[in-house]
Structure 1
């Protein structure tokens, strides 16, 4: 790679070219370039430009775009700067509209609007961003064509179609994909696209595209699959609503109301700044304390030079609810930890703790994050699956394995509010991990006639809560023992315990069952060895 040397001069010496003076210039900005025909203005009659982030210019015609897209029709209806006739053919005078999609997506989308050869689509995943752009720009005809193209893969790849349709909130397409995934025996027929026989899909089937939908939508799909598997008629199983997009964050307003700030933030003689919460509660604070605790608030509360000498009250509006600020602000001061509000509902207590954690992360207040994390764990102590999903959402890697272990021993599957916030990926991982652990228990307890653990079921997998508690205690002992014993200490029998049963979804050519080094696989291997040791005694 070529480098450019910067030559410097001093009054005492001549020019130097020492290597210490060598610097790398920042790469030059890429010059815009025209897209392929017909978007390269070959005839010189384009009257607008769409420019992508990679500096590709699409020379387009407003009349075509107005017909194809109501979004652009509204945008182009706004008054435009006047231009002379001589400027109408000058490319530098054309209005440039910056868009966020890449050139490949826009090229295919625009070709669907122009009288040219239509583009090809290579699979469901390839089609998804183009469909998303068509929905964003309100291109009705393109949406209809792309949705039809999407549904053509319904019989061959129902889960991928389900994920894409769910992501783009196409409820009708989602229902068709769900029905194709959960085929009744009476509905089995040859697939029109491939001619292959349409058969029910296993409930354990999964695709990476499902990581883009909410765990709640995946839960509804598994529930729908289970009900249709035992149904005698398609009319006996109503289709649920699947399109539940991932919530970017939980609501910031907790269940309580904060009419007045707590002491000392209610004292008008306290502090040099007034914070106004979203519900109008005033908090009198010291700017220096908040600036020390939060780099975000330090920038937010910074005063302009002329205001620093002013005696006027400094007022700042904060987006958080007063109930959240009442908990957050004491954690910025050298004060005792605040007391969480008393709630009668577990949902409200978990909601309050998570709302506080969201605010603490937003303002980067370390002490508040640690406090809110402890409160989340305390509030959800009796709900292992909720704890696991919360840990997955906030990236608590040090605690995910612990909560996953406890979630194995919940009796049956049930919907929890955190599924609306977390993607289907973490929920899928706990289902796989749980099934492996339960299979070990059932095989050791029942011997050769052991039933296989269900991947998902609303029926209890053991007889009672006490029995589940017994196995969880045994599992915890096994995990502790696995952490103490190195792999080299395993004897032949214990090494055999590492091998998955035939047909296990995690089986690999190495025979260890460890597809990748993560808690979802390797923990099960250690657990298998230690449960073998303990029961063999």
Structure 2
């Protein structure tokens, strides 16, 4: 009982939230001193709230004022409010708050949405394509960006997901917040990119199979693998995962090496040649993908 009472005693958030003309109290009893003007500029919800009569400096009700300042209790925890209020500060564009993971991103976005902080929400969504988010959880990034109708970030996530087969990414809860139509269009985009890889057949003359010039087996090219066989394998790999990263996958390279022949020298040198060849294909593959449209209607 004493511990519960102790936990409910409000504590100050500390710098930089130690000055202001209003106190924002979190659900876990942390008091953030902030400025009404900044909150009003960031949120019409707070602007309307401050247009109503506020507790006076002589109001001694413990749950209404503190040090003569009005207290506004909110349902969000301090970890969320600390981020949210930081984005309402005029210096956040040069001193950007750190968003450690997509869980805290979603919590702050939900709060920004609740208080109608559209500019803050848009700024946060632009941050989710950072490599630490996109490389780890591309489907979550896609769903979040799509939910907030952020076209650039949605397309970046959709293109990143071309590294995977369409059935590989696991379900994420953020998909519940977008329509089935949006998800279907992602699947269609993936399929269209895969089908478009057949266009590479027109470019093979500019991208011949790399030579090994093996002095042991005395064969040009990759031993025991015809040019057409390798080109067909490239297109099939890109049809399933339409990204050059598919051709840089060690497992795929190993499968090609095994098909290349039994010459020890070829098998040692082939992986490096396959990597070089894949890098040469990066430009034409990217050019093909850039022509494919992600057919999602964006509005906000």
TM-score relative to the length of structure 2: 0.57
Question: Offset of 1:452 from its aligned partner?
Answer: 10
Alpha-carbon distance, 1:355 to partner = 1.9
Structure 2 equivalent of residue 282 of structure 1: 31
Instruction: Tell me the CA shift for residue 327 of structure 1.
Output: 1.0
2:116 equivalent among 357, 364, 372: 364
In structure 2, what is the Cα distance between the partners aligned to 1:427 and 1:288? 40
Assess, with a 3 A threshold, how the Cα gap between structure 1 residues 465 and 473 changes in structure 2: closer, same or farther.
farther
Confirm or deny that 1:414 pairs with 2:169.
Answer: yes
Alignment partners' CA distance in 1, 2:86 and 2:246: 46
Specify which structure has the higher proportion of helix: 2
Count how many residue pairs are aligned between Structure 1 and Structure 2.
212
Deviation at 1:263, TM superposition (A): 0.9
Give the Cα separation in 1 of the matches to 2:170 and 2:128.
Answer: 19
Alignment partner, residue 478 of structure 1? 288
| Deviations, residues 194-218 of structure 1 (Å, cap 9, x unaligned) | xxxxxxxxxxxxxxxxxxxxxxxxx
CA RMSD of aligned residues (A): 3.7
Question: Contact between 1:406 and 1:472, CA under 8 Å: does it hold in 2?
Answer: no
2:129 partner SS: helix
C-alpha separation between the residues in 2 aligned to 1:409 and 1:299? 47
How many angstroms does 1:325 deviate by?
0.8
SS of aligned partner of 2:16: coil
TM-aligned CA distance change 1:281 to 1:338, over 3 Å: farther
Alignment of 1:460-479 (within 5 A): 465=249, 473-478=283-288
CA contact (8 A) 2:27 2:74 kept: yes
Task: List gaps (5 residues or longer) in structure 1.
Answer: 1-258, 343-348, 456-460, 484-517, 522-537
Which gives a bigger RCO, structure 1 or 2 (Cα 8 Å, sep 6+)? 2
Report the secondary structure of 1:408's partner residue: helix
Higher CA-based Rg: 1
Preserved contact between residue 381 and residue 387 of structure 1 (Cα < 8 Å): yes
Question: What residue number does 2:127 align with?
Answer: 375
Relative to the length of structure 1, the TM-score reads 0.34
Aligned equivalents of 2:163, 2:110: Cα separation in 1: 29
How many angstroms apart in 1 are the aligned matches of 2:198 and 2:246?
9
3-state SS, counterpart of residue 380 of structure 1? helix
Is the 1:327–1:356 contact (alpha carbons within 8 Å) kept by the matching residues of 2? yes
User: Paired residue for 2:41, among 288, 292, 297?
Assistant: 292
Displacement, 1:353?
A: 1.7
Distance 1:260 1:373, change over 3 A: farther
Query: What runs of 5+ residues in structure 2 fail to find an aligned partner?
Result: 1-10, 60-67, 202-230, 254-277
Distance change >3 Å, CA 290–CA 280, structure 1 → 2: same
**Whole-Å separation in 2 of the counterparts to 1:396 and 1:286:** 30
Report what 1:441 is aligned to: 197
1:402 aligns with 2:156: yes
List per-residue Cα deviations over 1:429-470 (Å, max 9, x = no partner).
2222212221332574429x9699569xxxxx9565377985
